[in-house]
Amino acid sequence: MSIGYLFPGQGSQFVGMGKDLYEKFPAARAVFDEANAVLGFDLARLCFEGPEEELKQTRNTQPAIFTHSIAAWRALGWSAAPSARAAGHSLGEYSAYVAAGAFDFAAGLRLVRRRGELMYQAGLERPGTMAAALGLEAARVAELLSGVSGTVRAANFNSPGQVVISGEVAAVEAAMEILKSGGAKRVIRLEVSGAFHSPLMESAATGLRAMLAETPMQAPRCPVVTNQSARPVAPDGADFAPAIRDSLERQLLSTVRWEESVRSMLADGITEFYEIGPGKVLAGLVRGVDKEAKVTPLGTAEQLEVYLSTTGLSTEGSAR
């Protein structure tokens, strides 16, 4: 049996996130405490108590979700098995690299905090927005977008019939009407601070490049499937560090190819997926790709306790 580790991205946050993990698992508590020390403010309190408006700020949302995900991972006590695959949706790709051992938690936390700041700033410099189109296949969305003036593109291919678009406000608004008339069941404007995964994030990608260059990288213990290529960064080879840095920089400007990433993992023999972090969005997306896929969300203390009790595993460290 081959395992797929999945890590959620922005949008999975909620007030109260991670509090139960903090209270019940010493390993999770250590992660939140380390996050507070690295960032220099009480991220744990923001996650546990809010306020919601502050938690929803991109610069806070990203480290909050990242910290919750790694807290759950550490609470499980897992070490990435070489035969496994790891993947994360947008921000979640950073969690995947930490789980795979490509860089440590503190380095990843500094990266995602800076990533959130840069993305927010890019949204101020070049205002944009995003929208989700439901009920249209990727090829149809691309066809319809080709007739829209201005900058707008597919930002996320999430699952069959779920595509997110991103770009300039006027272009996205025009595209929303075209997608509706083109057969979309629903088109929903998203509450975001910028046009993520579009050319409008160019300044953020440039700023992130310098920080990525300074971040030490190690060969990951298992392949990580990147959003940008929908294929793994292999765990060996002399060029793994440049490949990781390049994938994370390009990710800000490129489409998140999540549906293809899931299909890639299925084709590589992954038979069981675990969504590690807040919420269960990715579980729904995976089942949208393959209704028979086995996906287990592991983001709450209750979910972890049920999983550990039914498998007979401890939290002392096991290769999964």
Is residue 26 domain-resident? yes
Higher model confidence: residue 311 or residue 294? 294
Is residue 278 domain-resident? yes
The pLDDT value given to residue 240: 86
Tell me, yes or no, whether 152 and 250 share the same domain.
no
Domain termination residue (choose one: 189, 213, 239): 189
199 pLDDT higher than 90 = yes
Q: Look at the block and give the residue holding tokens 């590690």.
A: 276
Tell me, yes or no, whether 164 and 92 share the same domain.
no
282 pLDDT higher than 50 = yes
Tell me, yes or no, whether 99 and 226 share the same domain.
yes
Mean pLDDT along residues 65-80: 96
Q: Look at the block and give the residue holding tokens 């993947």.
A: 87
- Beta strand 186-189 with 128-134: parallel, antiparallel or unpaired? antiparallel
Is residue 194 domain-resident? no
20 pLDDT higher than 80 = yes
pTM for this prediction: 0.95
The pLDDT value given to residue 104: 97
Is residue 117 domain-resident? yes
Is residue 171 domain-resident? yes
Residues 6+ apart with CB under 8 A from 105: 31, 34, 70, 98
What residues are paired with 222 via a beta bridge? none
Is residue 246 domain-resident? yes
Tokens of 46: 């923001």
Per-residue model confidence as pLDDT tens digits over 125-179: 999 999 999 999 999 999 999 999 999 999 999 999 999 999 999 999 999 999 9
316 pLDDT higher than 80 = no
Higher model confidence: residue 319 or residue 22? 22
Distance CA 240, CA 237 (A): 6
Is 214 buried (19+), middle (13-18) or exposed (0-12) by CB count in 10 A?
Answer: exposed
The pLDDT value given to residue 234: 63
Tell me, yes or no, whether 293 and 147 share the same domain.
no
The pLDDT value given to residue 238: 58
Per-residue model confidence as pLDDT tens digits over 205-225: 999 999 999 999 999 999 999
Tell me, yes or no, whether 133 and 33 share the same domain.
no
The active-site residue, picked from 197, 229, 254, 264, is 197
Is residue 115 domain-resident? yes
Tell me, yes or no, whether 173 and 205 share the same domain.
no
Tell me, yes or no, whether 136 and 17 share the same domain.
no
The active-site residue, picked from 90, 166, 198, 247, is 90
Structural domain span for residue 276:
2-123+199-319
The pLDDT value given to residue 292: 94
Tell me, yes or no, whether 55 and 171 share the same domain.
no
Tell me, yes or no, whether 263 and 182 share the same domain.
no
Mean pLDDT along residues 66-76: 98
Tell me, yes or no, whether 205 and 174 share the same domain.
no
35 pLDDT higher than 50 = yes
197 as an active site residue: the answer is: yes
Counted residue by residue, the chain has a size of 320
Tell me, yes or no, whether 226 and 108 share the same domain.
yes
Tell me, yes or no, whether 206 and 234 share the same domain.
yes
243 pLDDT higher than 70 = yes
Q: 10 Å Cβ neighbour count for 41?
A: 12
Mean pLDDT of the chain: 94
Query: In this structure, which long-range contacts are made by residues 184-188, counting pairs with CB atoms below 8 Å and at least 24 apart in sequence?
Result: 184/133, 184/134, 184/135, 184/136, 185/134, 185/135, 186/132, 186/133, 186/134, 186/135, 187/131, 187/132, 187/133, 187/134, 188/131, 188/132, 188/134
Number of domains into which the chain is organized: 2
Secondary structure string (H, E, C) spanning the chain: CEEEEEECCCCCCCCCCCHHHHHHCHHHHHHHHHHHHHHCCCHHHHHHHCCHHHHCCHHHHHHHHHHHHHHHHHHHCEECCCCCEEEECCCHHHHHHHHCCCCCHHHHHHHHHHHHHHHHHHHHHCCEEEEEEECCCHHHHHHHHCCCCCCEEEEEEEECCEEEEEEEHHHHHHHHHHHHHCCCCEEEECCCCCCCCCHHHHHHHHHHHHHHHHCCCCCCCCCEECCCCCCEECCCCCCHHHHHHHHHHHHCCCCECHHHHHHHHHHCCEEEEEEECCCCHHHHHHHHHCCCCEEEEECCHHHHHHHHHHHCCCCCCEEC
Is 79 buried (19+), middle (13-18) or exposed (0-12) by CB count in 10 A?
Answer: middle
The pLDDT value given to residue 319: 46
User: Which CATH number characterizes residue 275's domain?
Assistant: 3.40.366.10
User: Which CATH number characterizes residue 154's domain?
Assistant: 3.30.70.250
